[in-house]
Chain A
Amino acid sequence: MVKLAEWQGKGVFRKYGIPLPRGEVARSADEAETLVRTGKVPLPCVVKAQVLAGGRGKGGAVRFANTPEEVRAAAASILALEFKGEKVHELLLEEKLPIGRELYLSLTLDRTQRLPLLISSPHGGVEIESVADTEIDRQTVDPFPGLTGYEKRRAAKVLGLSGTLARSLDKLLDSLWQVFQHEDAELVEINPLAIVGDGLVALDAKVIIEDDAAFRHPEYAEIRDDRTELEEIAREKEIAFVQLDGNIGVIANGAGLTMATLDVLKELGGAPGVFLDLGGTDDPKKVTEAFLLMARAKPAAVFLNIFGGVTRCDTVAKGLVEAMRQVPTSDRFPLIARIRGNNEKEGIEILRSAGVTSVSDLRASAQAAVDAAGGRA
């Protein structure tokens, strides 16, 4: 998933006509000061860290400023922050508005009903998880007619809006629905949506774009997210690769088998550190690349657990043998293999000729991997 920072999300909102405070992005204290001195951002203003984690207000990552000097000081202190593990690279400077009530709106997916879900609450400006369930309204929206008039009227009622404000909401919800659909969003959230005079303004923007829709959205390809460097390389090679905290590398095929393998290792006292899901491939080169990537993560031992279907056992074995040839001796790790399914015999034979024994029992082979990695973590 591509999580957009607030300023990027607001860029999307602007495109669809969702009302926003006047604002600009700065990447240094100098730049921030210049923005207010030149009047591009009016004073007083708010300086906000562009990080993905929530709770910025309480964590000192959002500050108000009345003068260019105060802007400079606020910018410098926020840029020096490491907020919940994230470095601050960008600041969003926005005009400070006379805010009335703060509301909550979002569109997401209801997996059970297989429908988009519009969530509204009159209590914005706090994390929605902390709002009482009775104060949150959820409406599923059918994609065929799209968001209807009566659904928007219900949202207005829930939010306590009437007259001009209800009409503003009607228009804003149409825009929000378009963002959700046209941008292939998993989540679009405005929290808070503020009443400012007789209008509505999105004070924050949270937009998450679905990975699988990347082919329709080359514009999001460059956005940095919370992947590690190796995870990023894996993504480019279309290998599912996730780094965890332990020291055993796991290579399996298919998400379910991979998760089951991690569960078994953990139960036996091991600590899975990296897992890599080959998915369905019948290209030995891809297997080789996956192994080389695993080697770079420096695992204490690697457990290979393959059940051959689309990915045949002999393909995996060939790719593995080639990778072992390429990994320098100093980076070698103990390898415990279990390969079953399509072309099992051929695969086992290829591994045997390279000195790797395949153990067919899952529990026994997992135990061998835990022992090879040094037992209990």
Chain B
Amino acid sequence: MSRKLVIDPVTRIEGHGKVVVHLDDNNQVVDAKLHVVEFRGFERFIQGHPYWEAPILLQRICGICFVSHHLCGAKVLDDMVGVGLRSGISPTPTAEKMRRLGHYAQMLQSHQTAFFYLLVPEMLFGIEGAPEQRNILGLIEANPELVKRVVMLRKWGQELIKAVLGKRMHGIHSIPGGVLKNLSVQERDRFLHGHDGLLNMDQIIEYAQDGLKLYHEFHEKNRARVDSFGVVPALDMCLVNDAGNVDYYHGNLRVIDQDKNIVTEFDYHDYLDHFSEAVEEWSYMKFPYLKALGREAGSLRVGPLARLNITQSLSTPLAQAELERFQAYTKGRANYMTLHTNWARAIEILHAAELIRDLLNDPDLQKDQLILTPPPNAWTGEGVGVVEAPRGVLLHHYRANESGEITAANLIVSTTQNNQVINRTVRSVAEDYLGGRAEITEGMMNALEVGIRAYDPCLSCATHALGQMPLQVSVYDAAGELVHERQR
């Protein structure tokens, strides 16, 4: 008898998704998909708003990577008012460094939240551990000292975001042409020296290595299982600087293959020449791909694994040492092992902490040149911004009329870029864990979620598009009989 297995909702991710697997009479996987079941509509309802509201409103797409949306929107605004990268103009050193500081603080906070609160339970309790235990409560019961460190590290990251953006979430900092504030010496010292119950910078660097320790212990014990779990080939993409290293704030978009040959590299302002997005009836999340290669070959992986596959080096010493170990593991070829994304994420936690330390020691943060004033007639009314959000390449594109009202907006968020690859991972793990098994357990189904969680998908981000259907709710029983209906 054919079976349909459902995970609803997928948990320990941000946003709403469900997985449906169909097995045939012989328990072979016929179909396995992640359905993104929510959707909102920012691209349409932002229209008519003043252009400068976009980074404030659109960061509400996501409660975990709001700084990335805010910053990405600000880069669009720089272009629109004529002082952006499109015109070959960079923000003042203080503005760019303050933007980067907020961004790295969020990279630390977001990755760390995902890693410890959402991903670590399997590393401690196993994929098939008791579901009641696979969460932060289980972690506290098993290792309260670790969780105390996690909480203090997150607090420091969130407080740093607040120092830059004014709030721990959905604050305001970047504006067209620059930023609103710099960082005072008192604020800086609070983070370097750990005043007001915060950790100090040395402790942050130390605590930021907890993830790597955990990952390596887990990997040592489960090497075969980790390395064979959801191996999914795909081209990798991230922002790179002129030296070919990942840059989380700006650069060109580079795409590489498994041998790390550059497949294509381009200025993200030209993204429309390179990307199309397919729509499927079964998900509110679209499927972007490189036009030149078509959907099958041109669907990309973005995020920590892609970034560490692409980058030649990392600019901070501890992260660089760990990157060398990471890249040596696959002998210099691109790493396609889904669970190694958690390794890459742990390296980026440390890298973010080191980048923050370097910035906090940079006297440019205390300087006063915060905003570039556009020359007369510089208004272009259109811009494209890309940043490396924690989950990968994030793109915003707006257009406005002469009065500054937004007339069009297009967003391609990182989780959407990963849509095809995530679905391939779900299929691959379903075949490995469910295929041919007569008895399916909750733990086997959790393996599918583990595959999805490795991408740290933000389905909140991915559901900025908007839905249809009036509010008429009909519920049917198994025989297809209408049992409940209501209309408003």
Task: Indicate, yes or no, whether A interacts with B.
Answer: no
Binding site for A on B (CB under 8 A): none
